[in-house]
Amino acid sequence: MEQIMETFPWGRLPRIKIYNTLGRKESEFPTVDEHPEVSIYVCGPTTYQFVHVGNMRGPVFFDVVRKIFSIHGYRVRFVTNFTDIDDKMIAEAEKQGEDDPIQLSARFVHEYYTDLFALGVEPADFYPKVSCHVEEIIKYIQLIMDNGHAYIGGDGSVYFDIPSFPEYLKLSGRHMDDLLDESRQTEIVEAKRDPRDFALWKAAKPGEPQWPSPWGPGRPGWHIECSVMSAFYLGPSFDIHGGGQELKFPHHENEIAQAKCGHPDEDFARIWMHNEWVTLDGAKMAKSGRSFKIRDVLKDTDPEVVRLFLLSAHYRKPVDFTFDKLEELSKAKGRIVEVFNRLAEFLRWRAEERPENWLRIWRHWDEGHRIDAEAFDRKMNDGAPVEDIFDKEQSAAETLVNETRIHLHTAHTHFADDFNTQGATGELFQLVNRINAGLEVMSSENPDDRHAANIALGGLVHLTDILGILRPERSNLYATEEAREHTGTGGGDAEKLADVLLKVREAARAGRNYELSDLIRDMLAEIGAEVRDSKDGPKIHWK
């Protein structure tokens, strides 16, 4: 594993540091050698409606977290759940005139997958649902009861006994006394011994989904599912538990209480990561009230622009949603696409120069230019000023390769520093500027310049892969026809004009004017219209 880290030409990857909500401090994650597999559980949605932009911040952010761990050489096991049984799910089913909340949930789970796919979020290893794990939940509740931390209340429900667990509220930093006051004010449930106790198992009510249990028919309370399903897929001790910051209390406090009282000798989650909200005019973009469904936003916004937006702030800081910001990021993404196309044009794509070979090309380059990668590593980590890192006299090609090296190194330093996507994205844009400057002075006839352009292209592809942008193979599922035309995938006037030019080219060929016919073909290719031969004669193929 260590070898993977050694082979990056921009120096050794820095150790990953993560801020742990539990204990409120940042610490270094164990190295790949010490701990080759990373297990992550992130709380998923209660699926009764279409999700809004804010709901997608966690999934998109953790998508990047997984990629960073993979690049560092870790094997990642990632689990995120669906809540298809709880009070809210049942209430919503009734509101929407649906007899079976599990059926309603199944429909929205499907819609949620579609939204994740549209945003280019890689699939999790497992997507457990509560209704598929009731058997394990019952066993787990029994374990908590056997350990003396749960009791059957006066209403036949099973409650967690809060005063029996003095470590309660360590994660959120709240106080037991304040909580007692709050609980007394909000709900008086006679069946509970203490107003702070919460339900592990809810006794059946008419019309609600129910399962048999040792305590009579009923259904799981909300919080128990995540303690049970994380243990089922990752074991009772695992690395990272993630979720929105609103879940700290009571959901995550209750998860810890259940896990610690079910499996007292296990760690449960060692690191807790909480992402902040997407805000609208400074307030949380709530499910109710003013919010923007992700699929509505994607009707006329490139999903990769939405990704850039969601990653534009550090995950522990709120990010405010405005259409102006999307517009601004759309232009920024345009600059990345433009430089990508410039590089492709400069290199006029050769098979041996595909971006997947760029690391090989880079190593070859380093040998020829006698770059001491280790010395670079040392200087960068010592915080030496950039101008001191390389020789003063550099060719344009050397300058571009070295600038690519610096921006990749710095981007990875940001990624490793508690997954600072904001800082890393800044490095990407600086790299774009440096490539544009390099292309101004380099020549595609010069082999050194071509090598440098290849390395810069590889660096660009590497960073955009991590952020999940420039994925041409994933078209926008929800784009309207009008939006498609704007993004240059053909249609409308351009299509008609290209067909006219194709006819002119045919006439030129018939008159044996191959110079003209080739010129027309090349010019069409420049606007993304490739001429391809078919059995019905030449056809335009839009790229």
Which residues form the interface with Zn ion (CB under 5 A)? 43, 226
Q: In whole angstroms, how close is the CB of 436 to Zn ion at the nearest point?
A: 45
CB-wise, 87 or 98, nearer to Zn ion? 87
Q: In whole angstroms, how close is the CB of 259 to Zn ion at the nearest point?
A: 11
Contact 134, 220 (CB under 8 A): yes
103: how many CB neighbours lie within 10 A of its CB? 11
CB-wise, 315 or 358, nearer to Zn ion? 315
361: nearest Cα among 455, 445, 267, 449: 455
d(CA 206, CA 80): 30
d(CA 443, CA 351): 19
282: how many CB neighbours lie within 10 A of its CB? 7
The two tokens of residue 474 are: 């994933």
- Token match 């009230």: residue? 289
Instruction: Check whether the bond before 355 is cis (ω within 30° of 0).
Output: no
Q: In whole angstroms, how close is the CB of 252 to Zn ion at the nearest point?
A: 7
CB-wise, 120 or 220, nearer to Zn ion? 220
- Strand 319-320 relative to strand 278-280, pairing: parallel
Q: In whole angstroms, how close is the CB of 43 to Zn ion at the nearest point?
A: 3
* Strand ranges inside 289-422, DSSP E: 319-320
Q: In whole angstroms, how close is the CB of 162 to Zn ion at the nearest point?
A: 18
Residues 318, 324, 328, CA angle at the centre, nearest 5°?
95
CB-wise, 230 or 413, nearer to Zn ion? 230
Q: In whole angstroms, how close is the CB of 422 to Zn ion at the nearest point?
A: 26
Backbone Cα Rg of the chain: 28
What 3-state DSSP class applies to 526?
A: helix
d(CA 186, CA 181): 9
d(CA 321, CA 344): 34
- Residue 197 main-chain phi, psi, to 5 deg: -60, 145
CB-wise, 35 or 88, nearer to Zn ion? 88
Q: In whole angstroms, how close is the CB of 45 to Zn ion at the nearest point?
A: 10
What 3-state DSSP class applies to 143?
A: helix
CB-wise, 86 or 302, nearer to Zn ion? 86
Q: In whole angstroms, how close is the CB of 283 to Zn ion at the nearest point?
A: 24
CB-wise, 88 or 543, nearer to Zn ion? 88
Q: In whole angstroms, how close is the CB of 262 to Zn ion at the nearest point?
A: 15
d(CA 306, CA 276): 16
d(CA 190, CA 154): 7
CB-wise, 43 or 231, nearer to Zn ion? 43
CB-wise, 86 or 304, nearer to Zn ion? 86
Q: In whole angstroms, how close is the CB of 399 to Zn ion at the nearest point?
A: 50
d(CA 252, CA 19): 16
CB-wise, 43 or 337, nearer to Zn ion? 43
Query: What count of Cα atoms within 13 Å lies in the side-chain half-sphere of residue 389?
Result: 25
What 3-state DSSP class applies to 3?
A: helix
Q: In whole angstroms, how close is the CB of 251 to Zn ion at the nearest point?
A: 6
CB-wise, 169 or 456, nearer to Zn ion? 169
Q: In whole angstroms, how close is the CB of 452 to Zn ion at the nearest point?
A: 48
CB-wise, 83 or 517, nearer to Zn ion? 83
What CA dihedral angle connects 482, 488, 489 and 490, to 10 degrees? 80
The secondary structure of residue 450, as a DSSP letter, is: H
Contact 9, 363 (CB under 8 A): yes
